[in-house]
Structure 1
Amino acid sequence: MSDTRPSEALLPTLFLSDADVASLADWPSAVSALAKAYGEPASDARVPPRSMARGDGIWLRSLTAISPAGGHMGSKLIAASPRTRRASYLISLFDQETMGLVALIDGNRVTGLRTAATATLAVDRLAPRRPLCVGVIGSGFEARGALDCLGALRPFESVHVFSPNPASRERFAQSFAGSIDVVPAGTAERAVSGADVVICAARSRDESPVLRGAWLAAGATVVSLGSTLPEQREVDEETMARAARVIADVPDEVAHDTGDGIAATRAGLALDAKLTSLAALVSGDAMPRRSDADIVLYKSVGSALQDVVIAEMLFALAKTKGYGTPLPASIVPVAK
């Protein structure tokens, strides 16, 4: 029989439900945790490329990462059936010293948390230090999270939102009543006209771009969250061309595995020369603008590092506040 590791590895694994995550999460803590992680030296080996197993109308995606700052490593599994429009998200968190499985977390809300918080981290480094004029394209949970998170850190002068469904953009505006004054716009161009920050979290039904570079004001910071696969489009080639820098959470995937990146390359744009990692931005190693008039694009595909860092934050808060359910049995680390 294999020997087990010391008793600290045998502490109960804590399960955090979706309701636990909703109660524990707060935007400033999430942004702060990500800023700390992206400010630490890291290697590509700590965050390897994601993998995906595909079946008949189903897929299982795996993302893994070792945290550079929080003492944990973990994975997120996404089981999805586009055919039936159902998905499950599971995050496992292991202690780097004991190899103990310290937490299992329902990852449904974590995906939205890390996407919005990472976008806010980028915008906070890129946008001018004044009340912001914000244009939002999209009215779903990603758009709502991105605006809500940004509003928790930065003041707004104005916010306009466009969704092709008038009822959806009205509901979006009303959902912020009492906290953020959001004005529905009749077109995407009107929503982003003169905006300091443009948040794109939407794709058209035919996967044609929803944002045109010609609409952007000088000095705009653009956030693209809604196109993460080769078959998906969100911003047009002119947006990519006008950007002085393209900040990416995963530069190689943004360039070669997103529809926007692929289309820009096909149009003859030397995208690799524009790409800068989010880590370089946060650590201060990159200068995204040479002048205030430069347009900068932050494009996200999502990273396991973000999932693991947010999971670490939630786990620490859960222990402090008494949330979660200790599991009656767990994985026992063995000597190897």
Structure 2
Amino acid sequence: MRSLTAVAPSGDFMGSKLIAASPRAGYASYLISLFDTNTMALAALIDGNQVTGIRTAATSAVAIDVLAPTRGLRVTLIGSGFEAQGQLEALAATRQIESATVYSPSLTSRARFVEKFALLLPSVKVSAASSAERAVRDADVVICAARSHDESPVLRGEWLRPGMTVVSIGSTLPEQREVDSEVIRRADLIVADMPEEVAHDTGDMLVATREGVIFEDKLVSLSSVVCKEGSFRRDGSSILLFKSVGSALQDVVIAEMLLLRARTQLVGTTLPVGIVPVAKWKAPTPQEPVAASTA
């Protein structure tokens, strides 16, 4: 059981995402709860699975928009599942995509991915590759949205060429790996949504540290890059890496947006029983002004 908590920037709601996961059972559930900060009443319960995919893809799209070349992009996706599909949809909503190449170990999954996006993005050349290395070969942007069953890296630094932007979203815990240490070593700049967590709690970075790869001096936050705090290189020779682990703030902001839309559109299900706030402190009473003492 894992929990992530945050207060929305609006100040109207606070919330948490609970993740209940069992490797033994092979399942996980994601639940977001929102509370009204004025009354502490439960405002909404939202299925967090879709929200997790939306916020992860949206954050990657923001990172790619500021890091990748401004022209039409040749995109490679390693992975063909829910997360990979969300990544391509979000990027297509924000940037021009020239072509999209997918690799997945499953031939059937690759074919299904190509079929879906050939219809969804008719102006984009969508194809499948027979190996991850071949898929990466001509890409401007490489999006890793898959992990191998034995947690060995799915992207190797020796495949990269100057000018590439790499996105890694599939390694968020110490035991997980998605890119090898050579990717981290070759990256001229590493951008993270949560730099401290990326550096100290993800398997990719922990292994790189054990193997002597120094990256702290080139690790910066996505917010600082978006807000142009400092400088970063985006030229024809730089290899840029965006590594995302996600944050409670991303979940709560999107959950708040969904709640407000649901109220406006009169959709959703009203809970038959509410969670009634409990009075824990006596409300403050107005105090009589205290006269200033004189000496």
Corresponding residue for 1:100? 41
Whose RCO is larger (CA < 8 A, sep 6+)?
A: 1
Structure 2 length normalisation: TM-score?
A: 0.89
Matches within 5 A, 1:173-322: 173-180=114-121, 181-289=125-233, 291-322=235-266
Are positions 1:127 and 2:68 aligned together? Answer: yes
User: Which secondary structure state, in structure 1, belongs to the residue aligned with residue 130 of structure 2?
Assistant: coil
Residue pair 2:76, 2:143 contacting (<8 A) in 1 also:
yes
1:331 Cα offset (Å): 2.5
1:70 Cα offset (Å): 5.7
Measured in 2, the distance between the counterparts of 1:185 and 1:94 equals 46
Corresponding residue for 1:51? none
Amino acid at match of 2:3: S
Matches within 5 A, 1:97-176: 97-176=38-117
Measured in 2, the distance between the counterparts of 1:100 and 1:288 equals 44
Amino acid at match of 2:32: I
Corresponding residue for 2:5? 64
User: Which secondary structure state, in structure 1, belongs to the residue aligned with residue 118 of structure 2?
Assistant: coil
Residue pair 1:231, 1:258 contacting (<8 A) in 2 also:
yes
User: Which secondary structure state, in structure 1, belongs to the residue aligned with residue 261 of structure 2?
Assistant: helix
Are positions 1:84 and 2:25 aligned together? Answer: yes
Measured in 1, the distance between the counterparts of 2:280 and 2:230 equals 43
User: Which secondary structure state, in structure 2, belongs to the residue aligned with residue 182 of structure 1?
Assistant: strand
1:286 Cα offset (Å): 4.1
Amino acid at match of 2:184: M
Gaps spanning 5+ residues in structure 1: where?
1-59
Q: 1:70 to 1:216 in 2, by over 3 A?
A: farther
Residue pair 1:288, 1:296 contacting (<8 A) in 2 also:
no
Measured in 1, the distance between the counterparts of 2:12 and 2:230 equals 27
1:217 Cα offset (Å): 2.5
Measured in 1, the distance between the counterparts of 2:157 and 2:209 equals 16
Residue pair 1:75, 1:304 contacting (<8 A) in 2 also:
yes
Give identity over the alignment, percent.
Answer: 61
The alignment covers a number of residue pairs equal to: 277
How much is the aligned-residue C-alpha RMSD, in angstroms? 1.5
Measured in 1, the distance between the counterparts of 2:64 and 2:182 equals 21
Residue pair 2:75, 2:100 contacting (<8 A) in 1 also:
yes
1:252 Cα offset (Å): 1.4
Measured in 2, the distance between the counterparts of 1:84 and 1:269 equals 36
Structure 1 length normalisation: TM-score?
A: 0.79
Measured in 1, the distance between the counterparts of 2:10 and 2:69 equals 29
Measured in 2, the distance between the counterparts of 1:246 and 1:217 equals 16
1:298 Cα offset (Å): 0.7
Q: 1:113 to 1:290 in 2, by over 3 A?
A: closer
Residue pair 2:136, 2:160 contacting (<8 A) in 1 also:
yes
Residue pair 2:68, 2:234 contacting (<8 A) in 1 also:
no
Measured in 2, the distance between the counterparts of 1:207 and 1:236 equals 11
User: Which secondary structure state, in structure 2, belongs to the residue aligned with residue 76 of structure 1?
Assistant: strand
Residue pair 2:67, 2:234 contacting (<8 A) in 1 also:
no
Measured in 2, the distance between the counterparts of 1:203 and 1:88 equals 19
Measured in 1, the distance between the counterparts of 2:117 and 2:11 equals 33
User: Which secondary structure state, in structure 2, belongs to the residue aligned with residue 223 of structure 1?
Assistant: strand
Amino acid at match of 2:268: G
Moved more, 264-273 or 196-205: 264-273
User: Which secondary structure state, in structure 2, belongs to the residue aligned with residue 325 of structure 1?
Assistant: coil
Moved more, 131-140 or 214-223: 214-223
Measured in 2, the distance between the counterparts of 1:204 and 1:81 equals 18
Residue pair 1:70, 1:309 contacting (<8 A) in 2 also:
no
Measured in 2, the distance between the counterparts of 1:226 and 1:139 equals 12
Measured in 2, the distance between the counterparts of 1:276 and 1:69 equals 26
1:202 Cα offset (Å): 1.0
Amino acid at match of 2:87: A
User: Which secondary structure state, in structure 2, belongs to the residue aligned with residue 331 of structure 1?
Assistant: coil
Q: 1:275 to 1:81 in 2, by over 3 A?
A: same
Moved more, 64-73 or 171-180: 64-73
Corresponding residue for 1:331? 275
Are positions 1:75 and 2:7 aligned together? Answer: no
